[in-house]
Every structure is written in C-alpha cells, then in structure tokens.
Amino acid sequence: MTMDDGNLLHAGIIFLAAAVIMVPVAQRLRIGAVLGYLLAGIAIGPWGLGFIKNVNELLHFSELGVVFLMFLIGLELNPRELWKLRRSIFGTGTAQVVFSALILGILLYLTDFSWQAAVVGGLGMAMSSTAMALQLMDEKGMTNNESGQLGFSVLLFQDMAVIPILAVIPLLGGEAAGSDWYRIGIKILAFAGLLVGGRYLLRPLFRLVVKSGVSEVFTAASLLVVIGSAVFMEQLGFSMALGTFIAGVMLADTEYRHELEITIEPFKGLLLGMFFISVGMSLNIGVLWQYLPQILLGVIVLVSVKMLVLYVLACLSCRRSGRLQFAGVLSQGGEFAFVLFSAALASRVITDHQMALLLVVVTLSMMTTPLLMQGIDVILARRYNAGAGTDETPFVEDNHPHVILVGFGRMGQVVGRLLMANKIHPTVLEKDVSAVSSMRRYGYKVYYGDATELALLRSAGAENAKIIVLTCDKPEDTMTIVQLCQEHFPHLQIIARARGRVEAHELLQHGVTQFSRETFSSALELARKALTGLGVHPAEAYRAQQLFRRLDMQLLRELIPQAEEEIAHVSRVKEARRELENLFSNEMKREQGQPDGWNSIDDSPGKTRIDDRS
C-alpha cells in the first residue's frame, strides 16, 4: 500500500502502529520519544519497509504539529512578556544565524559548492528544528529557565528570518529584483493587516462562539484560528508556525486562553509525532550509503559548528549551568532547511545532487540531538552530583537521607526549608540544571537528574529513605515516580503534590493517601480572612474553614471516578455540589453546641489528619 493509492485510513493505521511499537521501545532503551518517532519513520518509509512512498505531501501536512505547538507557546506569552525578550530575539538570534551561516557557508565553498550555493547552504543549516528543540526543552525542564528562554528567542528569530532569506534566493539565481521587492512590500502590508485584524476581531469572535453554548463550535473556532492563520502566513511566504504563534500571543491575555489550551493540546501531540515520523521517512538511505564518509563528516561539522557558536553566545548572556544545554538543544539542522533548499533548487542555485546531500545531513543531525542531550545530561550529572559533599556546608553531608524531595521549585523550596529548620536534611532531585547550580551555592544537597529514572532514585538512597516527597510540576511525572516507588521501594512513604482534584483522584486510585492540593489550603485561608473581614468571629471563621476542609476531603474520596461509570460519576458530582452547602450548614449548627470538640474527628484513632494532606 502506498499513499498514491489514496487510502489515507490505511496510512493513518500504519503511522499509529509504528508509533505504538517504536516509541515504547525507544523509551525503554532510554533514547527518548523523539528518536523513537524518527526510527519509526525510517522503518515505514520508502527506504525501509516501503509502506508509504509519498513523503513530501505527508511532511508538509505533518508540519501542522509544529503549527499547533507554536500556537500553544504563544498562549503562554502576552505581548508585554514578548517585548522583554526583544534583545535576545534580535541580538542573540541574529548573531546565531549570521555566524553559523558564515562559518558553514565558507566550509561549503571550500568544497565543490559555488558561492551562491554556499550562501544558501549555510543559511539553511544555520536554522534549527523548532519542533525538536521545544520538545526536548520541555523534557529537560528548560522551558522556564534562562537557557530555555534564550533558546526560544533564537528559534523565534529563525522563523522570522525565513521570509527575507526566501526573497534573496531568486536574486542569487540571477532573477530580476524589481517585482520581487514589490511582492515583498505587499506581503508585509498583508502581514500588518493580520496583526490589526487579529487584535480587534479574535476576542469578539470567541465571545460570540461562547454565547452559542455549543462546545463543538468552540473547538471548530479554535481550529479555524490556528489553521487559518497558518495557511494565510504560508500564502504570504512566511512560516506557518510564525503565524500561529502570533495568533496565540494575541489571545494570551483573553479569558479564553485556558480553554484554548485544553482544546488544542490533543491535536498538537498527535500531529507533532506525525511530523517526527515524516522526517524519519524523508531520510534518503541510498544517498547515505553512497556518500557515507562525507555525510558523517558533514553531520559532525554541522553539529560542532553550531554548538560552538551557540556556546560562545551563551557565555555572553546565560549562566554557566545552562550553557551546554542551550548549545546542544539547538545544534541540529531544522525543518526550514527543507523549504529553503527546495526554493534554491527551483531557482537553480543548487543542484539536485547538492540538495540530496544537504537534506541527508540535516535529517541525520536532527537524529543526533536526543542522543547528544543524553550525553550532556551525563556531563551535568557528573559536574553537579559527583563528590557532592566536598564543597558543601556540613549540615547537608548526609549520605543516608530520611527524606528524598523531588522537585525544587516554589513548593519544593518551602518544603525543604521547613524540613531543614527541623534538623531534617533531605536529598533533593531536580532536573532544572539552573536551579541545581543556584541551590548548591546556598548549601542544599541538590542533585541534577530526572527522578522518573529508577537508577537515579537508587543512587539518591531510595532503598534506605523513609519518605519521598513529590513536588513535580508535571502530574505525569508524579504518577510515574509513584509507580516506580510502589514497585521497587514499597517501604517508602509517598507524600505528593496534586495540582487539583483530577490529580488527587489519580493519587487516591494508586493508593497514595497523603497529598496536598496546591491551591486548596491557600484558598481556604483567603476565605477565612474574608469571613473575618465581614465581621464573623475569628474562632467561628476558623471552625468553618476546618469543617469545609473535612467535608471536601470526604467528598473527594467518595467521588473517585470509575471509567466504566463516567455518566453516573458526572451526575454524582453535580449532586454533591448541591449537597455540600446543606451538609456544611447542618454540621456548623450541630457543632455549635460542642465548641471544644468540633475538630476531634481529625485526631480520632486510626485516622490520618486531614489538615496535613488536603
């Protein structure tokens, strides 16, 4: 079966089957999901089993994964935050493209490339893969730290640089310049029109859709905005990803931001995996075997040159702890190289043979990045974990910790400080290398690494520890660690952070009874202060706070959802919300007559205090 048969359903089945088989194998081999997708693409592509032949059409369609990814990133940035990144976007981004293209272009010119072909080749290989870099930054915990923001700025500038590069390519091929610059002017005006129209039309559009009360229409409107802005920008010659990123930024300050994230996320994950599979299918194994030494040398040179340039730039604007990750995550060639080289071939700037070689080098460089980042993890682990006690203050030199603390963000730092104030010295595991570097300077025993790996938990002393406290940002990481601990360290007492009721239900279903919902206690405290401010006696307000806590935890346990009873569960939730006010009112009246014993249930035999885990 080939794509020429028009059987898209069978092609979809092949894609899904390849991903289901290869990605878990790659994860078990610890080479990462991205490399698993790439290997799946090689397996089913024209140079593998040959299930799918028409790679170019699929590659173009699968770029929608990058489009959805950039839209979600745009939703996280409002225009004010984007303005703060202007120096890194136009400063570091410009320097990276210029210096990488210059060095790579000179090296290509020293081979059999003309100066025009060398310019295009250098510019194309200076681009990095937006999809791969952002995925790896998320996996490595770089998204919110300094090196991750710098990497995002460079990627954003590369997206914006594509249009002027495409405009220059026909000139390098000897075509007239007049009409091209006229078309460029028209495109810039259309781009400005998109910005103005999006600024004043998107919010009213979603307000109208929400008033309809039909959730499917909201999903349709979300897809219309994402795909419509992508297609519009593509027609102008810009990057599709840049268009959806701008649409996301314009919606970042609206009240529909979170609902948009929930709606788009499933499409992003599926299409992004399809993109990586398509890149794997595009690898020309025939060219690779025919010119194996030259191509391998080209990959090494490409990755080395870009890492060197990126590392030097990071030395000027990034702390030492994040420089290596920043240089590694952007070291590959990117998907825009396919666009630039195709335009160069159409303008007769490069030959078919040169394009084939360049595309294989770029594709292979993308496959090296997951492995390179694993190597960087090893280097960082040795730098920050080996000989941990030599440069730290004595009170953290405990080789047999009673407590392992996973995650040292805002919540983890509060937990760690309170434990240390009580002479309990936890071993902290954190995958944000910038946080590791800073916290070690303050005397904390913080180790770099991903706690979802069994080997790291063992080396941290999980076999001898009594308690593990999980304050991970990602709920899926929390559940992975819970399962590892229950399987390999059943003696460990697990205390976990839950972002909300959904995560709390998951923890309860896995037998974890000690957890804290991160906003629940602070919300109750605010409510207590509000009652006091309205004239309620402080003791009565405190009693109401504790009673509400107890009843809510009781309902939380009763309403653990069962997959096979989803409809009944939804009905029960609605009923419970109606009952909560009545229960609360009755309990308050009942306990008014026993002011000294209203909280006694929390300390009754056989019960764990609810205060400590809600």
Q: What are the beta bridge partners of residue 428?
A: 405, 446
Longest dimension (CA), the chain: 94
Which residues neighbour 3 within 8 Å (Cβ) at sequence distance 6 or greater? Answer: 11, 52, 53, 54, 57, 58
Q: Residue 215 pLDDT > 60, yes or no? A: yes
Domain end point (choices 494, 518, 542): 518
545 & 435 share domain: no
Identify whether 441 is part of a domain.
Answer: yes
d(CA 457, CA 494) in angstroms, rounded, equals: 13
Top pLDDT among 482 and 347 is at 482
pLDDT score at 174? 66
pLDDT at position 183 is 63
Whether residues 55 and 199 fall in one domain = yes
Q: What is the C-alpha separation between 167 and 176, in angstroms, rounded?
A: 11
Q: How far apart are CA 222 and CA 457, in angstroms?
A: 42
pLDDT of residue 7: 61
* Same-domain pairing of 345 and 478: no
Please tell me the predicted confidence (pLDDT) of residue 512. 86
Give how far Cα 540 sits from Cα of 536, 582, 600, Å. Answer: 7, 18, 16
pLDDT at 597 over 60: no
Task: Give 549's pLDDT tier (boundaries 50, 70, 90).
Answer: confident
More confident residue, 397 or 67: 67
CA distances (Å), 315 to each of 100, 111, 150, 309, in order?
A: 16, 31, 12, 10
Residue 265: per-residue pLDDT: 76
Q: How far is CA 164 from CA 60, 105, 118, 237, 574, in A?
A: 21, 17, 17, 10, 56
Residue 608: what pLDDT? 39
Domain boundary among 362, 383, 404: 383
CA distance 357 to 315: 33
pLDDT at 564 over 50: no
Assigned domain for 40 exists:
yes
Where residue 112 falls among pLDDT bands split at 50, 70, 90? Answer: confident
319: closest CA among 410, 407, 441?
Answer: 441
In a domain, 524, yes or no: no
How far out from the chain centre does Cα 219 lie?
A: 22
Per-residue burial over 385-415, b if 16 or more Cβ lie within 10 Å, else e, is: beebeeebeeebebeebebbbbbbbebbbeb
CATH code where residue 454 lies: 3.40.50.720
Residue range 470-515, pLDDT digits in tens: 988 888 888 889 988 888 888 888 998 888 777 888 888 888 888 8
Based on the domain organization, do 422 and 571 belong to the same domain? no
**Is 333 domain-assigned?**
yes
Distance separating alpha carbons of residues 240 and 248, to the nearest angstrom: 13
What percent of the chain shows pLDDT beyond 90?
Answer: 6
Choose among 125, 66, 476, 528: nearest CA to 299: 125
Given a contact cutoff of 8 angstroms between Cβ atoms, the answer to whether 452 and 387 are in contact is: no
Determine, yes or no, domain membership for 563: yes
Query: Tell me, what CATH number does 335's domain have?
Result: 1.20.1530.20
Q: What are 606's two structure tokens?
A: 């056989």
Backbone phi and psi for residue 333, each to the nearest 5 degrees, phi listed first:
-75, 170
- Please check whether residues 84 and 29 belong to one and the same domain: yes
pLDDT at 568: 46
| C-alpha torsion angle, residues 404, 410, 413, 414 (rounded to 10) | -110
Same domain, 495 and 447: yes
Answer whether 376's CB lies under 8 Å from 324's CB. yes
Tell whether the model's pLDDT for residue 591 goes beyond 60.
Answer: no
Mean pLDDT across the chain, nearest whole number? 77
pLDDT reported for residue 401? 66
User: Quick one: pLDDT at residue 400?
Assistant: 61
Find the helix or strand (DSSP H, E) in which 497 lies: strand 493-498
Q: Is residue 401 part of a domain?
A: yes
Highest mean pLDDT pick, 97-101, 229-233, 343-347 = 97-101
**Residue pLDDT, tens place only, 300-310:** 999 999 999 99
**Edge-first strand listing for the sheet containing 493-498:** 446-448, 427-430, 403-406, 467-470, 493-498, 514-517
> Which residues, other chains included, contact 145 with Cβ-Cβ below 8 Å and sequence gap of 6+?
322, 432, 433, 434, 435
Residues in the chain: 614
Angle subtended by helix axes 475-488 and 501-509, to nearest 10 = 10
Q: Report the C-alpha gap between 25 and 285 in whole angstroms.
A: 22
Boundaries of domain holding 544: 529-614
| Half-sphere CA count of 83, side-chain side, radius 13 A | 3
Q: Which residue has the tokens 């920043």?
A: 326
Token pair, residue 534, equals 């309205």
Please tell me the total count of domains within the chain.
3
Q: What local confidence, expressed as pLDDT, does residue 592 receive? A: 55
Q: Answer yes or no: is pLDDT of 411 > 90.
A: no
115-138 pLDDT, tens digit each? 888 999 999 899 998 878 887 887
Q: Are residues 563 and 508 in the same domain?
A: no
Residue 361 lies in a domain: yes
| Statement to judge: residues 116 and 242 lie in one domain | yes
Q: Please report the pLDDT score of residue 590 as a whole number.
A: 59
Q: What share of the chain has pLDDT > 70, as a percent?
A: 80
Q: How confident is the model at residue 566 (pLDDT cuts 50, 70, 90)?
A: very low
> What 3-state class would DSSP assign to 365?
helix
Residues 418 and 288 in one domain: no
The verdict on 488 and 471 lying in the same domain is: yes
For residue 390, what pLDDT is reported? 40
Question: Does 376 map to a domain?
Answer: yes
Final residue of a structural domain among 383, 409, 439: 383
**Do 436 and 555 share a structural domain?**
no
Residue 259 is predicted with a pLDDT of 74
Query: What distance in Å separates the CA atoms of residue 147 and residue 141, rounded to the nearest whole number?
Result: 10
User: What pLDDT sits at residue 100?
Assistant: 92
Q: Does residue 537 register a pLDDT over 70?
A: yes
Whether 477 and 561 map to the same domain: the answer is: no
